[in-house]
């Protein structure tokens, strides 16, 4: 007979963003527990609200299967005495295993014969096994754990009840002083405690107490109520999935309602309205059919529609107060010119160990000018870039950003435009923060893209130089995301930028403004931050599905631009299946290895008069031919050119001994090989390729 098992943990309100991951964690720990306990089941269902995490196991086996287990005892020569009788050791062993000595048999183990017995172990009943299910709860971990009352025990929030039922029977587990029972709590305000007759009755019996325990069902209810309101009013309601998820985990019984605000606030920028509604009040905003903002909002109440008017009026009042604040800030901010805000940034720290934001903007001005020239921005663009770099953080000290920190950059763009900055400069302010996530939108304008790269590389270099390196999962300043951002922007813009170019940009800034690097000397941890950026390139290549050996090959050189690195990975991947791939690469890597070994002896140029055989001459001629215009070729052409050297290289090694006693001849040969090796560096370190 199969059973149903229910475990519900009742809690004080769990943080909304923790609810879903926590119930998944509970389910996976339950699954592990059952598997380790050898108790089979058909399915585990999850239920979650702000006040409860629950799992229901369906088709649970009656008991563990009986098993036979083999136990190993003493070696045969110890188990049996000279007369062929069981020794004391053997008797002790069998007694210990609860079987008769006659059941002992012998088996070889690592070359020696040992005594063994086979025991039957009867499977424990599900009831018995589940008595340890408290371990599942105790093992749970959360981003923030807390203690309460007089306990040392930590959990996400205080546990207030536990319902633990195998069919209709309570499994008597206990956490702290809380004994599991069949009682679950109803809705905090609209329901009452409910006594669960049977695990199967969950969660239906909670519905009577105004709790929709199935998170998916709750979400569907919200979605359909939103659609209904939108349809009735001919509104467009943008359902932000993250917001819906959060709101869903703030309610046990959802009722969607709409409210309004005074039309006068529509004069505020949409971003301000949206932030006020979404981030501060968890409201959905409302558009008309043309996508224009309407003075309404939609929100979700934790309860039914009784007294809904109070809730609507209360929420309208709170939103109005926020919008009134926002309007006040918007008007006040327009009274402070950008120059005055920039001046104030001399007193705002970027980081205590690095310096002020003002100093950062000065560094970024130099860095971005260098990079802007490098990637070929027009004179006008360079001028806009300079202006943007000098002011791009000014909105940090505005009242609006002080109140709505998430509007940093967004307000900068809006205010810059109001203060008459040109379109490029204004847009670059907002774009300097992009991309906001590892897959988020990139800056569009050239000016914004350069400013964004310059800002990010300055942050990375500063934190590294001030010895604040990210480690493991600890990356409080999101430097990984910023490094990835640099690479993504450079690739999208098809700009010829390498890590070395970034280092040169910093060096150039340092040469002009040494005082700005007082706490962040460029020589501090320089190699480390360059490796860190290459690490992101590596990650991006792996994520895009390139083979590990190819990735390790192409990221080995920091001189190559990000674009070249990706193109090299492409070309190598394309040719990997060629018939001659192995031979081509082996010929080239042989030269690379020898050249690397003899690096110290490499001469400025190959001397033809030191050649001793024809293969040397032939190789030299071929290399000279390949080298001509090599720099202007794309990577596919370079690959073809390089592989054309295979035969000459092969002949060369057949006929030529490189490491000869005559120093000048040896050095000349190493110089020849080095010339080839240098050509291969367009692809990184070819000897990392796996051609075995």
Partner 1 sequence: MENSIFLAAIDIHTTPVKQSSYKTAVMQSLIALDIFKEEDIMSKKLSIQEIILTLQQFWSKQGCMLMQSYDTEKGAGTMSPYTFLRAIGPEPWNVAYVEPSRRPADGRYGKNPNRLYQHHQFQVIMKPSPANIQDLYLDSLAALGIDSKEHDIRFVEDNWENPSMGCAGVGWEVWLDGMEITQFTYFQQVGGLEVWPVAAEVTYGLERLSSYIQDVQSVFDLEWADGVKYGDIFLQPEYEQSKYSFEESNQDMLLKAFDEYEAEAKKQIANGLVHPAYDYILKCSHTFNLLDARGAVSVTERAGYLARIRNMAKSVAKVFVAERKKLGYPLIKDEKLRAKLLEEDN
141 scored as a contact of partner 1 (CB under 8 A): no
Which residues ranging from 669 to 688 are in contact with partner 1 (CB under 8 A)?
none
CB of 318 to partner 1, least distance (A): 4
140 scored as a contact of partner 1 (CB under 8 A): no
CB of 53 to partner 1, least distance (A): 15
Residue 660 DSSP SS3: coil
393 scored as a contact of partner 1 (CB under 8 A): no
Residues with Cβ < 8 Å from 395, sequence gap 6 or more?
A: 341, 401, 407, 408, 409, 411, 412, 415, 429
CB of 303 to partner 1, least distance (A): 6
Token pair for 272 = 């301000």
- Closest by Cα among 407, 297, 428, 423 to 361: 428
Token pair for 42 = 């058909």
Residue 298 DSSP SS3: strand
Which residues ranging from 248 to 277 are in contact with partner 1 (CB under 8 A)?
250
Token pair for 253 = 């019984």
String of contacts with partner 1 for each residue 120-139, x by CB under 8 A? --------------------
201 scored as a contact of partner 1 (CB under 8 A): no
Give the binding range for partner 1 (CB under 8 A) out of 174-182, 224-232, 406-414, 544-552: 174-182
Give the binding range for partner 1 (CB under 8 A) out of 145-153, 230-238, 506-514, 667-675: 145-153
CB of 255 to partner 1, least distance (A): 9
Measured from the CB atom, the residue of 109 and 307 that comes closer to partner 1 is 307
Q: Phi-psi region for residue 656, left (φ > 0), alpha (ψ -120 to 50) or beta?
A: beta
405 scored as a contact of partner 1 (CB under 8 A): no
Measured from the CB atom, the residue of 328 and 548 that comes closer to partner 1 is 328
Distance of CA 534 to the CA centre of its chain: 17
Q: How far apart are CA 636 and CA 643, in angstroms?
A: 11
Give the binding range for partner 1 (CB under 8 A) out of 97-105, 341-349, 589-597, 670-678: 341-349
Q: How many residues bind partner 1 (CB under 8 A)?
A: 50
For 88, how many CA atoms within 13 A lie in the half-sphere containing its CB? 0
Measured from the CB atom, the residue of 161 and 415 that comes closer to partner 1 is 161
242 scored as a contact of partner 1 (CB under 8 A): no
Measured from the CB atom, the residue of 40 and 281 that comes closer to partner 1 is 281
Token pair for 437 = 């996530």
- Closest by Cα among 359, 388, 345, 346 to 520: 359
Give the binding range for partner 1 (CB under 8 A) out of 140-148, 505-513, 555-563, 657-665: 140-148
* Residues linked to residue 574 through DSSP beta bridges, in sequence order: none
Contact present, 360 and 458 (Cβ < 8 Å): yes
Measured from the CB atom, the residue of 359 and 483 that comes closer to partner 1 is 359
String of contacts with partner 1 for each residue 631-650, x by CB under 8 A? --------------------
188 scored as a contact of partner 1 (CB under 8 A): yes
Residues with Cβ < 8 Å from 507, sequence gap 6 or more?
A: 522
CB of 680 to partner 1, least distance (A): 50
Return the residue matching tokens 């910093």: 506
Residues with Cβ < 8 Å from 316, sequence gap 6 or more?
A: 259, 260, 261
Interface pick for partner 1 out of 85, 103, 264, 306 (rule CB under 8 A): 306
- Closest by Cα among 82, 89, 123, 126 to 104: 89
Give the binding range for partner 1 (CB under 8 A) out of 172-180, 236-244, 377-385, 566-574: 172-180
* Residues linked to residue 115 through DSSP beta bridges, in sequence order: 106
Cβ neighbours, 10 Å, residue 204: 11
Q: How far apart are CA 604 and CA 656, in angstroms?
A: 21
178 scored as a contact of partner 1 (CB under 8 A): yes
Counting every residue written for the chain, the total comes to: 692
Residues with Cβ < 8 Å from 597, sequence gap 6 or more?
A: none
Interface pick for partner 1 out of 149, 289, 471, 515 (rule CB under 8 A): 149
319 scored as a contact of partner 1 (CB under 8 A): yes
String of contacts with partner 1 for each residue 2-21, x by CB under 8 A? --------x-xx-xxxx---
Measured from the CB atom, the residue of 289 and 310 that comes closer to partner 1 is 310
Strands 174-175 and 178-179: antiparallel
Strands across the sheet containing 169-170: 43-49, 52-60, 3-11, 159-166, 169-170
Contact present, 560 and 682 (Cβ < 8 Å): yes
Contact present, 26 and 134 (Cβ < 8 Å): no
144 scored as a contact of partner 1 (CB under 8 A): yes
Give the binding range for partner 1 (CB under 8 A) out of 37-45, 126-134, 343-351, 502-510: 343-351
Interface pick for partner 1 out of 74, 123, 158, 522 (rule CB under 8 A): 158
For 86, how many CA atoms within 13 A lie in the half-sphere containing its CB? 18
Measured from the CB atom, the residue of 90 and 319 that comes closer to partner 1 is 319
Token pair for 55 = 């799992």
Which residues ranging from 42 to 101 are in contact with partner 1 (CB under 8 A)?
50
314 scored as a contact of partner 1 (CB under 8 A): yes
Interface pick for partner 1 out of 122, 139, 146, 527 (rule CB under 8 A): 146
Distance of CA 346 to the CA centre of its chain: 34
Return the sign of the alpha-carbon dihedral for residues 499, 505, 507, 513. negative
Which residues ranging from 347 to 386 are in contact with partner 1 (CB under 8 A)?
347-349, 352, 356
Interface pick for partner 1 out of 87, 94, 275, 299 (rule CB under 8 A): 299
Question: Which DSSP state fits 474?
Answer: B
CB of 117 to partner 1, least distance (A): 49
Contact present, 47 and 214 (Cβ < 8 Å): yes
335 scored as a contact of partner 1 (CB under 8 A): no
CB of 253 to partner 1, least distance (A): 11
Question: Which parts of this chain interact with partner 1 (CB under 8 A)?
Answer: 10, 12-13, 15-18, 50, 144, 146-152, 157-158, 160-161, 176-178, 188-190, 250, 281, 299, 301-303, 306-307, 310-311, 313-315, 317-319, 321, 325, 328, 347-349, 352, 356
């Amino acid at each position: 007979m199969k059973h149903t098992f229910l475990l519900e943990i009742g809690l004080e309100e769990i943080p909304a963003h923790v609810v879903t991951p926590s119930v998944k964690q509970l389910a996976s720990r339950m699954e592990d527990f059952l598997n380790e306990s050898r108790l089979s089941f058909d399915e585990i269902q999850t239920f979650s609200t702000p006040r409860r995490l629950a799992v229901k196991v369906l088709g649970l086996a009656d008991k563990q299967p009986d098993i036979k287990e083999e136990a190993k005892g003493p070696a045969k020569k110890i188990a049996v005495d000279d007369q062929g009788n069981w020794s004391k050791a053997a008797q002790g062993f069998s007694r210990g295993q609860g079987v008769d000595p006659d059941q002992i048999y012998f088996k070889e183990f690592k070359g020696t014969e040992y005594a063994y017995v086979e025991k039957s172990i009867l499977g424990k009943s599900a009831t018995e096994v589940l008595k340890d299910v408290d371990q599942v709860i105790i093992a749970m971990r959360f981003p923030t754990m807390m203690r309460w009352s007089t306990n040392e025990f930590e959990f996400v929030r205080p546990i207030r009840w536990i319902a633990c039922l195998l069919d209709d029977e309570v499994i008597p587990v206990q956490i702290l002083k809380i004994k599991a029972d069949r009682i679950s709590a109803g809705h905090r305000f609209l329901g009452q405690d409910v006594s669960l007759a049977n695990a199967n009755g969950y969660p239906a019996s909670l519905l009577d107490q105004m709790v929709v325990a199935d998170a998916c069902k709750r979400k569907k209810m919200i979605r359909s109520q939103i659609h209904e309101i939108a349809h009735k009013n001919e509104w467009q309601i943008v359902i932000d999935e993250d917001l819906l998820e959060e709101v869903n985990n703030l309610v046990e019984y959802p009722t969607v309602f709409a409210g309004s605000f005074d039309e006068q606030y529509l004069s505020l920028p949409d971003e301000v309205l949206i932030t006020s509604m979404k981030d501060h009040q968890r409201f959905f905003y409302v558009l008309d059919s043309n996508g224009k903002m309407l003075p309404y909002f939609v929100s979700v109440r934790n309860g039914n529609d009784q007294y809904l008017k109070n809730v609507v009026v209360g929420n309208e009042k709170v939103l109005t107060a926020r919008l009134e604040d926002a309007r006040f800030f918007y008007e006040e901010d327009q009274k402070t010119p950008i120059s005055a805000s920039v001046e104030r940034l001399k007193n705002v720290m970027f980081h205590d160990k690095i310096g002020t934001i003002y100093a950062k903007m000065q560094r970024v001005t130099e860095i971005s000018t260098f990079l802007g020239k490098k990637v070929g921005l027009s004179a006008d663009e360079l001028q806009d870039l300079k202006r943007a770099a000098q002011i791009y953080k000014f909105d940090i000290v505005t009242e609006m950003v002080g109140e709505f920190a998430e509007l940093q950059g967004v307000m900068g763009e809006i205010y810059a435009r109001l203060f008459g900055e040109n379109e490029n400069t204004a847009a670059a302010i907002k774009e300097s923060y992009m991309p906001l996530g590892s897959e988020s939108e990139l800056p569009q304008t050239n000016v914004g893209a350069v400013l964004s790269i310059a800002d990010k590389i300055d942050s990375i270099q500063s934190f590294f130089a001030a010895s604040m390196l990210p480690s493991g999962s600890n990356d409080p300043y999101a430097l990984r995301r910023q490094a990835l951002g640099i690479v993504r922007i450079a690739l999208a813009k098809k700009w010829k930028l390498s890590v070395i170019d970034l280092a040169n940009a910093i060096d150039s800034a340092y040469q002009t403004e040494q005082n700005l690097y007082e706490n962040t000397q460029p020589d501090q941890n320089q190699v480390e931050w360059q490796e860190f950026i290459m690490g992101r390139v590596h990650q991006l290549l792996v994520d895009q599905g390139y083979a590990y050996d190819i990735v390790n090959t192409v990221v080995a050189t920091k001189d190559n631009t990000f674009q070249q690195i990706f193109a090299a990975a492409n070309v190598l991947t394309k040719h990997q299946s060629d018939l001659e791939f192995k031979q081509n690469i082996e010929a080239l890597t042989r030269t690379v290895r020898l050249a690397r070994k003899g690096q110290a002896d490499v001469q400025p140029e190959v001397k033809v008069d030191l050649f001793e055989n024809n293969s040397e001459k032939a190789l030299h001629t071929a290399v000279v031919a390949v080298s001509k215009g090599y720099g202007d070729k794309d990577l596919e052409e370079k690959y073809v050119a390089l592989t054309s050297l295979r035969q000459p290289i092969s002949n060369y090694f057949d006929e030529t001994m490189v490491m000869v006693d005559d120093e000048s001849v040896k050095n000349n040969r190493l110089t020849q090989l080095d010339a080839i090796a240098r050509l291969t560096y367009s692809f990184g370190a070819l000897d990392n390729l796996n051609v075995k």
